[in-house]
Amino acid sequence: MNNEKYNSLSVVGTQWGDEGKGKITNYLSLKADMVVRHQGGNNAGHSISIDGKKYSLHLIPSGIFNPSVKNVMANGMVIDPLALVKELEILESQGIKDYQLFISDRAHVLMPYHIRLDGMYEELKGFRKIGTTKKGIGPAYVDKFSRDGIRFADLLDDELFQNLLKDNLLIKNKIFEAFGKEKFCFEEVYEKIISAREKIKKFITDTSLIVHEALENGDKVLFEGAQGVLLCIDHGTYPFVTSSSPTSSSIPVNVGIPLNSISKTLGVVKSYSTRVGKGAFPTEFENKISKKIREIGNEFGTTTGRPRRIGWFDANLVRHAARVSGLTDISVTLLDVLSGIDKLKICKSYLLNGKEIKYLPAGETDFNNLKPIYINLPGWKEDITNVKSFDELPKNAKKYLLKIEELTGVKVSQFSIGPDRNQTIDINQLFK
């Protein structure tokens, strides 16, 4: 549903992440006054290509390249200060020195022990190994919700920070000891975090006030989702999900702004599907075509380098994302990767125990047993990387986009035909 009060746009991934949100948010950030990241941490990885130069972002919002854009890391994030400092240093070495960054004082600090716990749990788990990015995301959110977390506001209060760290190490070191793992030394962790704090403390502030003020001023505010709706802790393919909610509906809580703050939600969908890590994937296939897609689409994880699993476009899955995240518009990315494939398939619904269904079942066994029902579409041979409008697309590429629109029930407002942000074509206007 469009909300006319503010001039804001939320961009969410609608599959299992890696839909090209980084490129799309970076493109949209050229039109924005503010870019807000609201969940997750450096499990995310965005590759951005600007004028042929490549950048890689994990924590920092995609508006960082534009000095006039305010970049906000909101309270819903879990932020590793050491990783953040490293990311800033890399950007600075690439010439990105003039930027505006604001870190929420209510965001949680992802600590070195969270990373070790993440790896340890993955090692110990049996059939429910998740295949996490091992960046400590799950354990950091566990501490947040068990009220053992350390927030950025606490980092600025040295005595409190020391006490919180001592308390946390008391418990965590018992766990490490029980599993025969190396314990953490207070002084070592303290020194590391404090030296990172010195670099970033000027950015720590109450970001809820800043974002709210921007909305009230009528500024163009872009909410940048990480991961994708199918990785949502509530509405994703649990337990093979991340530990936050990448939906648009989570934004008010994760940023500290009113319910009606989102004017539009743009769902970024890849023209096919990919997944990294474990978990069922109904339209997955492995053959010559998937290999070609992986190669041309460069389908290897930005964060872990793992080859991504490949599947056909799953309209059933995107319909689910459209409902739980309230999509008003869709951006179809990597359309160029499908050029040269003779016959394309789109999954329109599933067969479960002999019955056609048009929703995602919650049960793990049911989800594992889904059989996709496909419609076949003719492909196109033309190189489309230089087209400038929908009308310039080959007939079959147009048909493919219109089929996505029909099956998902959401209008396709944008498509993208290459890694450069200039290779993004607007069909409908997204910001007012």
Active site residues: 18, 46
Residue ranges in 66-206 assigned as alpha helix (H): 81-93, 112-124, 137-145, 152-155, 158-178, 186-200
CB 187 within 8 A of CB 177: no
Pick from 10, 62, 227, 423: which binds ligand IMP (CB under 6 A)?
227
State the nearest-atom distance from the C-beta of 338 to ligand IMP, in Å: 20
Q: Element (H or E) spanning 319, and its range?
A: helix 315-325
Pick from 6, 17, 263, 297: which binds ligand IMP (CB under 6 A)?
17
By C-beta, is 80 or 154 nearer to ligand IMP?
Answer: 80
Q: Is 115 in the site for ligand IMP (CB under 6 A)?
A: no
DSSP SS3 for 370: coil
Interface with ligand IMP: number of residues (CB under 6 A): 21
State the nearest-atom distance from the C-beta of 277 to ligand IMP, in Å: 2
State the nearest-atom distance from the C-beta of 141 to ligand IMP, in Å: 9
Q: Is 140 in the site for ligand IMP (CB under 6 A)?
A: no
Q: Is 20 in the site for ligand IMP (CB under 6 A)?
A: no
- The C-alpha atoms of residue 246 and residue 25 are separated, in whole angstroms, by 15
- At position 116, the amino acid (one-letter code) is R
State the nearest-atom distance from the C-beta of 377 to ligand IMP, in Å: 26
Q: Is 45 in the site for ligand IMP (CB under 6 A)?
A: yes
Q: Is 226 in the site for ligand IMP (CB under 6 A)?
A: yes
Residue, CB closest to ligand IMP: 277
Please give the backbone phi and psi of residue 71, each rounded to the nearest 5 degrees, phi first.
-110, 125
- The C-alpha atoms of residue 26 and residue 23 are separated, in whole angstroms, by 5
Burial environment of residue 341 by CB neighbours within 10 A (0 to 12, 13 to 18, 19 or more): middle
State the nearest-atom distance from the C-beta of 76 to ligand IMP, in Å: 14
Contacts (CB under 6 A) with ligand IMP, residues 118-137: 130-133, 135, 137
Pick from 61, 76, 138, 419: which binds ligand IMP (CB under 6 A)?
138
Q: Is 273 in the site for ligand IMP (CB under 6 A)?
A: no
Q: Is 243 in the site for ligand IMP (CB under 6 A)?
A: yes
242-265 as b/e, with b when 16 or more CB fall inside 10 Å? bbbbbbbbbbbebbbbeeebbbbb
Q: Is 87 in the site for ligand IMP (CB under 6 A)?
A: no
Burial environment of residue 173 by CB neighbours within 10 A (0 to 12, 13 to 18, 19 or more): middle
- The C-alpha atoms of residue 107 and residue 153 are separated, in whole angstroms, by 8
The footprint of ligand IMP (CB under 6 A) covers 16-18, 43-45, 130-133, 135, 137-138, 226-227, 231, 240, 242-243, 276-277
